[in-house]
Amino acid sequence: MLLDVLTIPKDDPVAFTFFTGYMAMFAASVFFFMERSRVQDKWKTSLLVSGLITGIAAVHYYYMRDYYAQTGENPTALRYIDWTLTVPLMCVEFYLLTKPAGATKGLLWKLILASAWMLVAGYIGEAFNPEGGDTTHSVTWGVLSTIGYVYILYTAWFGEVKQLGDKSDNPMVAKSIRTLAWFVLVGWAIYPIGYMFMPGGWLSGFGDPSSVDLFYNIADAINKIGFGLVVYSLAVSSTKD
């Protein structure tokens, strides 16, 4: 019996990035898990979380690439399940880096709840929009989702995370937090922009919604692997000191 083999159309960059995104994040996960043995104990949990972020994403991309290859459609539900697991873990990295400087469990839960709020509201706005796209529905839930994003952004740039990073006795911690804050500001911005290209969004008439997957895939790989590499760089440099 012949097995069905998924193929990558030569003229479909979205399919290409689903496959490469899967392999890139799988490789990054292996790397982070293997490198845990090289760093001090206080950084092992941070690298574990980095490996979990890319590992969870790799599993979801494995299924998303198959879904897209078979249907040619945006795997909305799978993508949001991925984000609902990985984005809060990315926020956990902020807590772990600032914990030695006095970060509390309260900060951790505020970041997790803000990220969950952002994603649940975004999913309702995108997945439950009436067929054809209701602008009121899209904008309402998009604004609600943005509240969570702005809170995380503010906390990383000006709020408790920034202040704790500045108080750390390790100058590399403050530098790493600034780098992660740039990821939140620039890298995460692709998601609300992509949301606005969906049916009913403010930018829905300016492009093909299916092309948004291309930018989502690239952004996911850069953000998730990039987050982990920042933490890894901090852990290695601190271990050498």
Residue 12: C-alpha distances to residues 31, 82, 102, 105, 216 (Å): 29, 23, 48, 45, 15
Q: Is 119 inside any structural domain? A: yes
Q: Is 5 inside any structural domain? A: no
pLDDT tens track for 104-123: 999 999 999 999 999 999 99
Q: Is 223 inside any structural domain? A: yes
Q: For residue 152, give the CATH number of its domain.
A: 1.20.1070.10
Rounded distance between C-alpha atoms, residue 213 and residue 134, angstroms: 21
Q: Is 176 inside any structural domain? A: yes
pLDDT tens track for 178-189: 999 999 999 999
Q: State phi, psi for 220 to the nearest 5 degrees.
A: -60, -50
Q: Is 54 inside any structural domain? A: yes
Q: Which domain holds residue 233?
A: 13-240
Q: Is 8 inside any structural domain? A: no
Q: Is 191 inside any structural domain? A: yes
Domain count, the chain: 1
Q: Is 7 inside any structural domain? A: no
State residue 200's pLDDT score. 73
Which pTM value belongs to this model?
0.92
